[in-house]
Structure 1
Amino acid sequence: MATLIVSYPVVEGATFDRDYYISRHIPLAQSAWGEFGLQSAEILFPAAGPQPLAGMVIMRFANQSDIDAALASPKTAEVVGDVPNFTNLTPQIFRAGD
């Protein structure tokens, strides 16, 4: 199994609409990348108090080639283009190996 983690490091003046992220953005990503083997998406938000991240999602694929195909898809532009609708933060992407 291969993992794609997208996190949103907090900076001063950060905004992050959790409701939009859960109800619109993650379903958009699942729709865009489902055909490329996206198996699951686990959303995590920080506990109360100062934290380094506003949120993150852990996306599971069968292998790294599926992640490559998903990210190379034209549908990825729509997913990335949706980010300003819920945050002013720059997403950070991390891949964990098979």
Structure 2
Amino acid sequence: MAVFTVLYPAREGAKFDHAYYDAHHIPLVKKAFAETGLTDVQVLTGVSAGDGGPAPFVKIVTLFFRDAEAMQASLTSPQGAELTADVPNFTDIQPIAQISVA
């Protein structure tokens, strides 16, 4: 299994449209990558840090793929580029991406 995680760091004054992200962007992700090996999506909304302070991340999304080849095929597809182009529609935060294995 290959895992692609996108983290949106919290910063003062940042724009993040949670409603758009949840209702529009995530369904696009699921549709775009379903045929190339996406097996699950987990979306987390930051509430607080462990010490009760502000959450370090506004949103964290984890995409689970069948294997590394499926993940690569998805991310480098034309649909992957379309999803990247959709980011300014919901945030001005520069996301952090990480590839992992499980």
TM-score, scaled relative to structure 2: 0.89
* CA apart distance, 1:51: 1.2
Match of 1:24 in 2: 24
Q: Where do residues 1-98 of structure 1 align in structure 2 (5 Å cutoff)?
A: 1-48=1-48, 49-98=53-102
Count of residues paired in the alignment? 98
CA distance in 1, matches of 2:79, 2:88: 16
Cα RMSD over matched residues? 1.2
* CA apart distance, 1:43: 0.4
Quick check: which has more Rg, 1 or 2? 2
Unpaired runs of 5+ residues, structure 1, are none
Report runs of 4+ in structure 1 exceeding 2 Å deviation. none
CA distance in 2, matches of 1:77, 1:61: 18
- Residues 2-53 of structure 1 show CA distances to partners (whole Å, capped at 9, x for unaligned) of 1110110122321111111110001111111111110111100011451111
Unpaired runs of 5+ residues, structure 2, are none
Identity between Structure 1 and Structure 2 (%)? 40
SS in 1 for 2:42: strand
TM-score, scaled relative to structure 1: 0.93
* CA apart distance, 1:92: 1.1
CA distance in 2, matches of 1:23, 1:97: 28
SS in 2 for 1:39: strand
